[in-house]
Amino acid sequence: METPWIDAWIRWERDSKEVVAEDEDEDEEQGEPLPPTEQFSFSYQLPGNNDDIVLELKGFPSESEQIWNSTGLTLWPCSHYLCEYLLEHHATLLQPPPPSQETCTESSQQPPQQQVVLELGSGLGRCGLLAYHLLLLRNNKTADECHCSTHVYLTDGDTDTLKQLRDNVQHNTKQPANKHTNNDTTTISTNTTISCHQLLWGTETTKEFCQAHKNVILTDDSDNNQGSNNIRLVLGSDLIYVPQVIQPLFETVKVLLSHTHDNDNTAARFLMAHSNRRQGSSVTLEMVLEGATNAGLSHEIVMESPPQEGI
């Protein structure tokens, strides 16, 4: 079951549990949500690949009324920078974990190693879908070699945004989607899978998420979040637009990055693109970095682009 929630409640300081009944009454009066009115199209060329990666995402213009309630229903500037960075550095950022000797032997019955990439605040899915297609291309090229099983999680807290995200994932993976009882959408192609889920930020909610998906996120001998997990990369763009979300965001990141392998080649990383875009209630890059430090996370600025945008 998903928790009814829209990100405007952060600005209104409303608790989802207190307003569910009220909003259900409002929904009945207003009828079905409006269908998306904007299509965003992108084409990414990868060196050595004959076909471009083409994404077609449906959403709303940034000035539309729907964005006041759910900011994830449009695209924001930093998604462009994060996608460009993924394209340029995908070989390093998305490299698989080193195969164990057991995985590469024909006589071994061990399953392939898991690699998990998770996007926070996916919105319409631009960055997460690009990561999925990059991983799909890599895994298809190395299908006959030692390889890992890869899963991409696209997550968002906003229930209205999640509906559109799932539609975009189904449209851009060209695979039939399985609608499960918990409203998760999963598409499968060879050993590369992608799914959409609600993830509300904070320590406890993130621990619950990891436990619910422990068969993918955690190693087989890991119970109750003990041992190492399979997350190699957490990413997100335009995640912080009010100061209230800084602490719960980094609480979530800390949980997701915990218990990962600690050598340089397989250490999990959080890659975030941030922009000081809001007047009057802007969150500066300094505030973001301070939040990471307070959560016990080390950080590095790897790229800066004006005006005040960085990764």
Of 149, 118, 243, 164, the C-alpha closest to 6 is 164
pLDDT score recorded for residue 180:
41
Distance in angstroms (rounded) separating the CA atoms of residues 286 and 274: 11
Burial status of residue 82 (CB atoms within 10 A of its CB: 0-12, 13-18, 19 or more):
buried
pLDDT score recorded for residue 266:
55
Q: 75-94+112-310 is classed in which CATH architecture?
A: 3-Layer(aba) Sandwich (3.40)
Domain ranges of the chain: 75-94+112-310
Pair of tokens at residue 183: 């409203």
pLDDT score recorded for residue 5:
80
pLDDT along the chain (311 residues), means of 10: 79 50 47 83 87 94 90 93 95 79 51 87 98 91 69 96 96 64 55 94 96 86 58 95 93 89 65 76 86 95 74 70
CB 79 within 8 A of CB 237: yes
pLDDT score recorded for residue 143:
62
Q: Determine which helix (DSSP H) or strand (DSSP E) holds 43, and give its type and residue range.
A: strand 38-44
**Residues of the chain by 3-state class (helix, strand, coil), percent to 5:** 35, 20, 45
pLDDT score recorded for residue 95:
86
Residue 68, number of CB atoms within 10 A of its CB: 11
CB 275 within 8 A of CB 76: yes
Strand partners, 193: 151, 188
pLDDT score recorded for residue 300:
94
Burial status of residue 127 (CB atoms within 10 A of its CB: 0-12, 13-18, 19 or more):
buried
CA dihedral 96, 97, 101, 104 (to 10 degrees): -20
User: Is the Cα dihedral 263, 233, 53, 145 positive or negative?
Assistant: positive
